[in-house]
Amino acid sequence: MRNDISAAVDAALAEIAGASSAAALAGLSATLVGKKSPLGQLKSRLGSVSDIDERKATGQAVNEAMLAVEAAIATKRAECEAAELEAQMATEGIDLTERIAVSRRGRTHLVTQATQRLEDVFVGLGFQVAEGPEVESDFYNFEALNMPKSHPARSMWDTLFVESSEPGSVVLRTHTSPVQIRVMQEWPPPIYAVMPGRVFRRDTPDATHMPVFHQIEGLVIDRNITFRDLAGTIEAFTKAFFGADFTSRLRPSYFPFTEPSAEFDIRRANGSWIELGGCGMVHPNVLRAGGLDPEEWSGFAFGFGIDRMAKERHAVEDIREMYTNDLRFLRQFSS
């Protein structure tokens, strides 16, 4: 019987070696080690071996033979499967570069991008964001900002007027400052707010001016706010927005709604200065117009143009380019 076993194993191994696919091998298990297989039949004939020791030894030999055949099937099957996947992949090649589509994602406008970046920096510095109407009354745009009727400083802005039953009383806001008054009237102090938005001037468009453009205004009202806090806040903004190697300075200027007033400049790492905007301590008359007692509250305000920031960031030569709404221009700037 021992000879029969080894003959059966040899035959089985030969058949396994000859198998060419994983599918074929899957069927071989039954054929080579099943009950009707040569080894299976040898196993069933064990009962005819009379010598107990002989029977035990032969039985063990049959089992080992069966395990060896099964292991051989598994090994061969793994080989076949690997080869088959290998072959499949070899035929499936594609050129990925053929399949990368052009992005169809849109873009927010450069001004929106700049506004959102500014808002994010100010939110990080502890500010909330306020908004107000773009068509304003004379009161909010001028009078409440310490410019009563016929105040000469009104001529600092070329104002566009809107038709109204009381001529001259409705204007397109010339700055975002009217939102200061609205915020003071509506929000209980302390106030830490920035107010971005669209503003209007009667300016003929050129490479650096548009009659419709955008500003961001900041307003802080709290107890014991000083000029030093203004300078420190401008400095914090400068570093947060432009980078740690930028610094800022304030120099005296004049605005009717702030006093002391200042222009603020920022200094690039290379030492050159850029004029950025105006700022100052909120004038007591403006606090009063906003319904706040200047003896209890003090504060500062600042403001600057957004369009210019976008223009300079992206080296746009002519600001009018930003308003042609040409998709070839707009789509350049990922947002």
- Output DSSP code: residue 122: H
Least Å distance, CB 319 to another protein, is 12
d(CA 220, CA 114): 22
Distance CA(259)–CA(280), nearest Å, equals 6
Output the CA torsion sign for 84, 87, 91, 95: positive
Span near another protein by CB under 8 A; candidates 37-45, 79-87, 103-111, 310-318: 103-111
Measured between alpha carbons, how far is 173 from 142 in angstroms, rounded to an integer? 9
Q: Rule CB under 8 A: which of 197-216 touch another protein?
A: 198, 202, 204, 211-212
Q: Quick check: 217 binds another protein (CB under 8 A)? A: no
Structure tokens at 8: 């059966």
In order of 8, 74, 159, 174, the CA distances from 155 in angstroms are 111, 94, 8, 11
Chain positions 31 to 50 lying near another protein, rule: CB under 8 A, are none
Amino acid identity of residue 245, one-letter, is: D
Q: Which of 50, 150, 270, 272 binds another protein (CB under 8 A)?
A: 150
Contact status: 86 vs another protein (CB under 8 A): no
Q: Is 246 in the site for another protein (CB under 8 A)?
A: no
Minimum distance of another protein from residue 187's CB (angstroms): 10
Contact between 73 and another protein per CB under 8 A:
no
Q: Which range in 31-39, 55-63, 79-87, 229-237 contacts another protein by CB under 8 A?
A: 229-237
Nearer to another protein, 57 or 160 (CB): 160
Determine contact, residues 279/262, Cβ cutoff 8 Å. Answer: yes
**Closest CB to another protein among residues 33, 172:** 172
What's the token pair of residue 321? Answer: 């380019």
For residues 143 and 164, what is the distance between their CA atoms, to the nearest angstrom? Answer: 18
127 or 302: whose CB is closer to another protein?
127
User: Can residue 241 be called a binding residue for another protein (CB under 8 A)?
Assistant: no
User: x/- binding map, residues 152-191, to another protein, per CB under 8 A?
Assistant: xx--x---xxxxxxxxxxx-x-----------------xx
Count of CB atoms within 10 A of residue 275's CB?
12
Q: Is 281 among the residues that bind another protein (CB under 8 A)? A: yes
The answer to whether residue 69 forms part of the interface with another protein (CB under 8 A) is no
Q: Provide the pairing of β-strand 212-222 with 191-200.
A: antiparallel
Beta bridge partners, 325, equal none
Report if residue 313 touches another protein, rule: CB under 8 A.
Answer: no
Does 240 help bind another protein (rule: CB under 8 A)? no
* Closer to another protein by Cβ: residue 55 or 198: 198
